[in-house]
Structure 1
Amino acid sequence: MAEVVGVRFKNVGKVYYFDPDGNQLKKGDQVIVETSRGVECGEVAMENRTVSDEEIVQPLKKLIRIATADDLKRVEENHKKEKNAFQICLRKIAAHKLEMKLVDVEYTFDNSKILFYFTADGRVDFRELVKDLASVFRTRIELRQIGVRDEAKMLGGLGVCGRPFCCSTFLGGFQPVSIKMAKEQGLSLNPVKISGICGRLMCCLKYEQNSYSEMLRLVPPVNSIVMTPRGKGTVTEQDVLKGLVKVKLDTPSLEGDCQYHYSEIKVLKSGKASAVKQESELLEQLEKV
């Protein structure tokens, strides 16, 4: 067991453990620590606590100091220099005629390195660009290609729901999302309607998936043959979250299709096989879109 403090270097970024070195820190405190990239200024995201050795990536580095007024002034100056470096890099990219989109620029706290983040459709030979930038800034230069999801997380914005992007406000990392999730949740399978601004499937498809998966194990799929309190019939519709199904009875009812809770009926023959076949065909079609 070891006492640690969690430090984050980007908004909603990953939290890294450091040895507090006897300091009692609070959420929001600015601290100076040594990282693999050099000395950095970060924000305390997790106050002092004890964790097991298995959770710690060794070696556990110690806190250098709590950020001073001079440290915070340097951070502010770095942000100003990043804006200037962004414009310079844009001009250099144009001069070298490279097919890449510059997304962000980041100075390390001690100015030992400048990182340029960009997106591109494929691989980019930026060796000459790196040499050019190094001659201008006289420090180590690193160009890092990122994906469109990372770009959205860095830049932020408003989603189709009208709220700020989940990835830039509270999601620490990205989890796999699939069209199958949208199908199981009864959402539109039009890729345009279930994709975020980044062009990838919306992260929020993952939020309720566990609940849907659990209920789908209990609620009979469409086309299942079931026995109801009023006789045998075929499931025509599902309301997964409420656990309800509509059943077309073999013996016609004046009321039309009857609605039952899954606990009121008994499955005689599951329609899962035909549903899986239809799903496979549908997913194949969507992949071609």
Structure 2
Amino acid sequence: MEKVVGIRFRKGGKIYHFDPSEYALKKGDFVMVHTEQGIGLGQVAEGPHGKDPRFHPSEVKKIDRPATTEEIRTHQNNLEVEQDAKNYCLDRIKAHQLAMSLVDVEYFFDGSKIIFYFTADGRVDFRELLKDLVRRLRTRVELRQIGIRNQAKMVGGLGNCGRPLCCATFLKNFHAVSIKMAKEQNLSLNPTKISGACGRLMCCLQYEYDTYRELKKDMPKLGKKVEIPEGRGKVIRQNVMERSVTVLMEDGREIEKQLDPPPKG
């Protein structure tokens, strides 16, 4: 069976899967790989395991080789550069009184570029800030504005479920999430219960949405008048998982009725 290893390039960042090639790697090892941004150093976050066609592409990039002691030392120095650059940028943002919040700093392994990620309510004139940063760092500098969902992805944290944020662990892309998804799953529409750390609707609302829609297709809708052996009434609640509905009878009684299993196929 083909193997893959999970590589993480930043603390708390997304895990990318690579072919370990002939190297015997274990969690915590540092490796060199080619990325879209050039050569990079990553750390093994998931030891070798079987390749799953449901989740992994047919062709997975191979790692180049284990990192040398000197390359690991360069990586540690780069982290220090990032922290120094972050502190300096925060100081200059304050000095220029810019309405922006610095989220993170990424310094390329080869020192060819440094990116400052920030959030802001609107457009920001950061030309003077950019001049300060270039003068201080003497390399290519990019200031990149990101959305609030991307901020949560980069910063990380715990969700309402108590687990690490989906966006900071395994989600590759953000998908549209609507209040309709919460309604379809009979969830509370209290914003504090269906909003994530970013303040937007939780990404996980989409996970079971299609399943709920499929299971509810043949169930009587809320508010529908129905005739049951006990008499006439109106559907006031659905329990999709239990395949049951609660009917409010004309005499005020509430009766729970079990439905037939969903049709197969």
Q: TM-score range by the shorter chain?
A: 0.7 to 0.9
Matched, 1:36 2:36: yes
Matched, 1:121 2:121: yes
- The corresponding residue for 1:261 is 258
The CA deviation string for residues 263-288 of structure 1, in whole angstroms up to 9 with x for no partner, is 29xxxxxxxxxxxxxxxxxxxxxxxx
Q: Based on CA coordinates, which of the two structures has the bigger radius of gyration?
A: 1
Taking structure 1 as reference, are residues 108 and 174 closer, same or farther at Cα in structure 2, changes over 3 Å only? Answer: same
- The CA distance in 1 between the partners of 2:224 and 2:61, in whole Å, is 59
Taking structure 1 as reference, are residues 64 and 239 closer, same or farther at Cα in structure 2, changes over 3 Å only? Answer: closer
- The CA distance in 1 between the partners of 2:50 and 2:245, in whole Å, is 49
Please state whether the residue corresponding to 2:189 is helix, strand or coil. coil
Taking structure 1 as reference, are residues 128 and 56 closer, same or farther at Cα in structure 2, changes over 3 Å only? Answer: farther
Taking structure 1 as reference, are residues 247 and 63 closer, same or farther at Cα in structure 2, changes over 3 Å only? Answer: closer
- The CA distance in 2 between the partners of 1:61 and 1:167, in whole Å, is 23
Taking structure 1 as reference, are residues 141 and 118 closer, same or farther at Cα in structure 2, changes over 3 Å only? Answer: same
How do 1:97-246 residues align onto structure 2 when only pairs under 5 Å count? 97-246=97-246
Deviation at 1:77, TM superposition (A): 1.9
The CA deviation string for residues 27-47 of structure 1, in whole angstroms up to 9 with x for no partner, is 554211233323211234574
Matched, 1:13 2:14: yes
Query: What TM-score do you get using the length of structure 2 for normalisation?
Result: 0.80
Query: What TM-score do you get using the length of structure 1 for normalisation?
Result: 0.74
Taking structure 1 as reference, are residues 46 and 55 closer, same or farther at Cα in structure 2, changes over 3 Å only? Answer: farther
Extract unaligned runs of 5+ from structure 2.
Answer: none
Taking structure 1 as reference, are residues 56 and 109 closer, same or farther at Cα in structure 2, changes over 3 Å only? Answer: farther
- The CA distance in 1 between the partners of 2:13 and 2:106, in whole Å, is 16
- Sequence identity, in percent? 50
- The CA distance in 2 between the partners of 1:36 and 1:15, in whole Å, is 12
The CA deviation string for residues 56-78 of structure 1, in whole angstroms up to 9 with x for no partner, is 68xx8764321122222222222
- The corresponding residue for 1:82 is 82
AA aligned to 1:96 is H
Taking structure 1 as reference, are residues 260 and 51 closer, same or farther at Cα in structure 2, changes over 3 Å only? Answer: closer
- The CA distance in 2 between the partners of 1:35 and 1:157, in whole Å, is 26
Number of positions where the alignment pairs a residue of Structure 1 with one of Structure 2: 256
AA aligned to 1:221 is K
Q: Which has the higher helix share?
A: 1
